[in-house]
Amino acid sequence: QKPGDRVAADEPIAQIETDKVTIDVVSPQDGVIQEYVAKEGDTVEPGTKIAVISKSTDGVAPAAPSEKKSEKAASKPSPPAETVKEDKPKAKVEVSPAVEKPKAPSPPPPKRTATEPILPPKERERRVPMTRLRKRVATRLKDSQNTFAMLTTFNEVDMTNLMKLRSDFKDAFVERHGVKLGFMSGFVKAAVSALQHQPIVNAVIDGDDIIYRDYIDISIAVGTPKGLVVPVIRDADKMNFAEIEKTINSLAKKANDGTISIDEMAGGSFTISNGGVYGSLLSTPIINPPQSAILGMHSIVSRPMVVGGNIVPRPMMYIALTYDHRLIDGREAVFFLRRIKDVVEDPRRLLLDV
């Protein structure tokens, strides 16, 4: 929206970008936008007036104050790019004499290439400010690396039985529950079982204490165009397959639409990251603070396996567990991953709790 535009009550007039989500600021009333008090790119505090809207009949009224936390208005990313473009001619003027000077003497080219590489011209580069979300992700991941003693252990899972389960019941599952049966619900259920067998993986270090959580809230890493977000499946241990699938679908849709709330990403005691949807064969996921471990899923690849003395093709997936070695010993980590493997390879274990 621009000054002079007519707006209706509850119509978005600007966007506030926080560390975690982008929030629409809506007009509190019908009227005409007189001016924007806050400029694009400004950092505003809660309660700051960001725009003035006049009613069609009487005076002037301020628009809705900014939402929680210190935030940065970012409705369109184009102005930063334009600013860069304006600066470019200046950079070009300064750089070009420096480039021409070395070219004048023809004998020293071999030396120059050895010591002074020729850089691509500045007009072939674009400088764009990092979003608040990307800066926050970068900070948290670096903090994770600096704080945790991270170690990754691997295993592989034969997906035959889980794939057969899905194939046999996919139509009946959709008809009964109105949602498709995927692999994520199987891995979430397996993770719940593994966390119940190895509760230390669900715990966290706080100073000189260990906090054991008597709940299981599983974060699901979702890559969005604006960055990585981790919505949380609350009380996953109390959910069945259908409830997990519905929750994952709902949260993933909100994450991609940019409508997910901060509350829906807060907390979480364990994370699952599925790089397999992008074709990743193997990776070492990084812990999502303040959790103590993360499970990485990968792509399913048909590989020759020895089964009962015979070599047969089987759909195999590598799985990885990165854990905080300050808290979790290798023994617990390996047992945890083995439990994931056992449950995914034979989901009947969940029915019998064995």
Active-site annotation, residues: 325, 329
* CB neighbour list of residue 90: distance below 8 Å, 6 or more residues apart: none
- Return the structure tokens found at 51: 């725009």
Maximum CA pair distance of the chain? 87
| Cα–Cα distance, 14 to 11 (Å, whole number) | 9
| Cα–Cα distance, 341 to 337 (Å, whole number) | 6
| Cα–Cα distance, 6 to 286 (Å, whole number) | 48
Q: Which helix (H) or strand (E) holds 223?
A: strand 222-224
63 CB burial (10 A radius; 0-12, 13-18, 19+): buried
| Cα–Cα distance, 24 to 261 (Å, whole number) | 12
DSSP3 helix / strand / coil % (the chain, rounded to 5) = 40, 25, 35
* CB neighbour list of residue 38: distance below 8 Å, 6 or more residues apart: 44, 48, 49, 50, 51, 73
Q: What are phi and psi of 94, to 5 degrees?
A: -70, -35
Contact yes or no for 150/323 (Cβ under 8 A): yes
- Rg, Å, the chain Cα set: 27
